[in-house]
Amino acid sequence: MSENFDLQNYLIEGVEGVVKEAIKATLRNPRESAFMLKFAAASRAASKKRRIAEDNGEHIPPFLIASITSKCNLHCAGCYSRCNHATTDAEPVKQLTSDEWLRIFDESDELGISFILLAGGEPMLRRDIIEAAGKKQNILFPIFTNGTFIDEKYYALFNKCRNLIPIMSIEGDRELTDSRRGSGIYDQLLSNMEEFRKRGLIFGASVTVTTKNCREVTSPEFLGGLSDRGCKAVIFVEYVPVTEESRELAPTDSEREYLMGEIRRLREEHPEMVYIAFPGDEKGSGGCVAAGRGFFHINSHGGAEPCPFSPYSDVNVRNTSLREAIHSPLFTALRSGDLLLDDHDGGCVLYEKRELVEALIKQ
């Protein structure tokens, strides 16, 4: 990594870039544009907070990933969360309450965290937490959902609270989506998209990129179809293998290069949508931005983890503040060492080097 590389500046520009593109993407929707303009002001204020903290020797990431439940109704092929036992069919026990999550959202706002990605399990099962998130208008909450629990009450909530943006998971066409997520899921997603379009509500799509769908999900037909249905953001997540059997699904180097080339083209030719690649966009940051460099993860039981693909924790936010969690011994060791900058085979360096992460916890 270059000695002149400024991580904080990169992250600030990245956040502001996403907001600017989101404003462009919503220009034809007056209500959505009005919210995004207000959020842009809040985002600038949050950036100033983070910059002041940086000048005082404290790094605050602009993003947080919050897995608000361990329960899910689907059994998607190769799901990392189920393989890590973070998602189960059993009724969740001792998970963070809505009040505890609201405290985390309040602390995030105070620190200058601008984006909190709500995940699971299936986050729509925790309506109480999503309603609490809707009250925090200074923070944008993308909700990563399988789309099967979106009902009339949720449509009303999304209309009232424009900081809640559903990001529905889709794998390409009907065959690709249903073969991974279950029969009928593709048609359910398209029905949801049509309802969002009719109501003038913003939504996005999340695509898990594998060796099976890399070309399909970057095709003009697939992305044009999403755009026609009103989709305003597409988040490409490279599949991270969690078992030896699933390793063949992980994109190869050439496929990752192809994906990033297509995303660069899409950003230039189709500004009507926002395109984000994970972890592909991290290369511009000089390495992995987990463990608080750019974001970190809180699991449904409060454990603060480097990222969802690296489920290791040495601190729980039930017993400490969010600020203290950011500076946990594990996070501090990862940020101060070279592990996050290492070359690696797959899309996730912390998964590839998981034995070293486990060793850090044992120290």
Any idea which residue has 């996403």 for tokens? 18
Among 91, 51, 98, 47, smallest CA distance to 70 is for 91
Measured from the Cβ of residue 139, the count of other Cβ atoms closer than 10 Å reads: 21
Q: Which helix (H) or strand (E) holds 254?
A: helix 253-269
Strands 274-278 and 231-238: parallel
Q: Which two tokens stand for residue 102?
A: 């609201």
For 142, residues 6+ apart whose C-beta sits below 8 A from its C-beta are 115, 117, 118, 165, 166, 167, 204, 233, 235
Query: Distance between CA 349 and CA 300 in Å, rounded?
Result: 23
Average pLDDT over residues 208-217: 94
Task: For CA atoms 53, 58, 60, 66, give the dihedral sign.
Answer: negative
What would the pLDDT profile of 284-295 be if each residue is shown by its tens digit?
555 677 888 888
Q: Left, alpha or beta for 145 (phi > 0: left; psi -120 to 50: alpha)?
A: beta
- Average pLDDT, stretch 106-119? 96
Question: What pLDDT does residue 293 have?
Answer: 85
Q: What is the pLDDT of residue 13?
A: 64
Q: Which fold has domain 7-362?
A: TIM Barrel (3.20.20)
Q: How much is the average pLDDT of 128-151?
A: 96
Domain regions of the chain by residue span: 7-362
The 3-state DSSP class for residue 92 equals: coil
> Which pair of tokens denotes residue 312?
């290791």
Around 315, how many Cα atoms within 13 Å sit in the side-chain half-sphere? 20
Element (H, E) at 169: strand 164-169
Collect all residues with Cβ–Cβ distance below 8 Å to 281 and sequence separation of at least 6. 14
Whether residue 104 has pLDDT greater than 70: yes
Question: Is pLDDT at 282 greater than 60 in this prediction?
Answer: no
Could you read off the pLDDT of 140-196 as tens digits, one per residue? 999 999 999 999 999 999 999 999 999 999 999 999 999 999 999 999 999 999 999
* 203 DSSP β-pair partners: 231
Contact between 9 and 16 under an 8 Å Cβ cutoff? The reply is no
Average pLDDT of span 71-83: 83
pLDDT of amino acid 274: 86
pTM of the model: 0.89
Higher-confidence residue: 134 or 334?
134
The edge-to-edge listing of strands for the beta sheet with 231-238 is 274-278, 231-238, 203-209, 164-169, 141-145, 115-119, 63-67, 297-298, 304-305
Direct distance between the N- and C-terminal alpha carbons of the chain, in angstroms, rounded to an integer: 27
- Does 309 score more than 90 pLDDT? no
Q: Average pLDDT of 20-24?
A: 79
- Give the alpha-carbon dihedral of 152, 157, 163, 168, to 10 degrees: -20
**What confidence score (pLDDT) does residue 1 get?**
37
pLDDT for residue 218: 93
Contact 289, 334 (CB under 8 A): no
Chain segment 336-347, per-residue pLDDT in tens: 877 766 554 455
